Structure 1
Amino acid sequence: MNRRRNAGIGLLAAMLSGVLVYGLFQLQKLQVTREETVEVVVAKQFMEAGRRLTEADVAYKRIPREGYVQEMLVDAKLAVGMETVIPLGTNEPILGWKIDKYHLLPTGMESTFQIPRDYVRSISNGIRAGDKVTVYLSGENEPSRRIFDSLVTVASVKSSSNVEIDNMKDPNLLSLAEGDKERMYASRRDANGMIEYINLNLTESQWLQIDGYCKDGLHKLVIAYSPESLSLEEEHT
């Protein structure tokens, strides 16, 4: 009886010892893994440009330390509430320059207005989402003039098929975020599609001015890409 009990105790002690050794091994393995990897913030799924990130959109993922770069976010709180400047792939580490705070969204005093097509005389084909533009008023029997003193932010530009106009192989917003002026210019030049719809971030008074001038058909808008926009982009990057 004592032999059987001693054998049972010995077996239990051996099992506990094995569990302890295995536990220590796993702890050491975890420690080595943490030393060799870095936990970064990634997108849970594909995110198109202009998407505002929520807690449900981001997660943490460990990557090899040698693959880590300083621009990668390590705190999800820094991503939540921000807007994607360029598309993000599934499980792609989020870099600081790929997101911005309300990049294409209107400010607190603004709303996004789609400008009726019959209000527009011309739109510069080089205009892209995120640009700052100058808005001019053109009348039949009077000189054209600038309608607003300040530049206006473009929320989106779309073709007649309601597709955002850009060079999909080399998006303008990607070049803008990287501060590459040559690629940004090439992207605008090579983008396909005529601008059919344009959405501008305007204050209520700005929209009422546009509507008041253009609804009778006697005045139309000329929307031009402004050289002043480039200096603002350089400040942003």
Structure 2
Amino acid sequence: MRFFISQKRGEEMNRRRQAAISLSAAVISGMLVYGVYLLQLRQIQLQETVEIVVPKQFIPIGTKLSAEHLRIITLPLTALSPEMITDMKDAIGMETSVPLGGNEPLLRWKVDKYPLLPRNGQSTFQIPREYVKSVSNGIRAGDEVSLYLSNEAEPSRKLYPESIRVAGVKTAANLEIDNPKNPNLMSMANDDKEGMYASRRDANGTIDSINLNLTEDQWLALDSACKGGTTKLIIAFQASSIKGSE
């Protein structure tokens, strides 16, 4: 009798052991299947790519972008941000607002379609005539200029380390200085350096007023330096206005 009871208990223990083993195997199998699913999902996400626009090499500020400056690369879709430009057509013709590094994603805030308009944080200021000691007659709207301070009692110095965008230059008759037969802005839009140079050679008129795109801090620094009357501005044309795309 005791033998049959012991045998029955042994069979019960075996059934429990087998049930536990089966349950453990099922759990492990489920975990393996789930792990494989996660790996496959991650692999699919990595395989999903998107094309973005990048510069081929370093591009300086003020460069009008063309197809020769740019190329397309692919990134994982998960790395795409809304600021990245994905269509070459959206980049061609834009002008760089900051220097661009080679092969870095081209972001929308780094380029500008309308360089004559003030950028975020800027305003267009007409510089008072009494503030200006000299201004290069070759300057035209859209150019980059350097500003210097001249004072007989102090050494001359550069006002800003960065270049400043010219919004407009006009004669005493309030006419924009340009060559009507060969407008500088049209040559600039077409990336025609020869045309830009020729328009400066052939344009008539003496600059009477100049408008600059400045931040508030830049204007306050300029106004504070010049409003006393002893310090004057020298406004110089920068060669990068024509050579920026080279």
Q: Deviations over 1:68-93 (max 9, x none)?
A: xxxxxxxxxx8xxx9xxxxxxxxxxx
Q: Which residue of 2 aligns with 1:46?
A: none
Q: Deviations over 1:105-163 (max 9, x none)?
A: 10111110000000000110000000010001111122211100000000000000100
Q: CA deviation at 1:229?
A: 2.7
Distance 1:192 1:120 in 2: 20
What are the equivalent positions in structure 2 for 1:27-38 lying under 5 Å apart?
Answer: none
Alignment identity in percent?
61
Give the residue type in structure 1 aligned to 2:171: S
What are the equivalent positions in structure 2 for 1:1-237 lying under 5 Å apart?
Answer: 101-232=113-244, 234=245
Q: Do the aligned partners of 2:193 and 2:242 also contact (CA within 8 Å) in 1?
A: no
TM-score by length of structure 1 reads 0.55
Distance 2:240 2:149 in 1: 19
Distance 1:143 1:228 in 2: 26
The structure with the larger Rg is 2
CA RMSD of aligned residues (A): 1.7
Give the residue type in structure 2 aligned to 1:223: I
What secondary structure does 1:210 align onto?
Answer: helix
Q: CA deviation at 1:182?
A: 1.6
Uncovered stretches (5+) of structure 2, i.e. residues with no partner = 1-89, 95-111
Q: Deviations over 1:14-57 (max 9, x none)?
A: xxxxxxxxxxxxxxxxxxxxxxxxxxxxxxxxxxxxxxxxxxxx
TM-score by length of structure 2 reads 0.53
Q: CA deviation at 1:176?
A: 1.4
Distance 1:129 1:175 in 2: 12
Q: CA deviation at 1:231?
A: 3.5
Q: Deviations over 1:198-219 (max 9, x none)?
A: 0000011110011101111010
Distance 1:164 1:205 in 2: 27
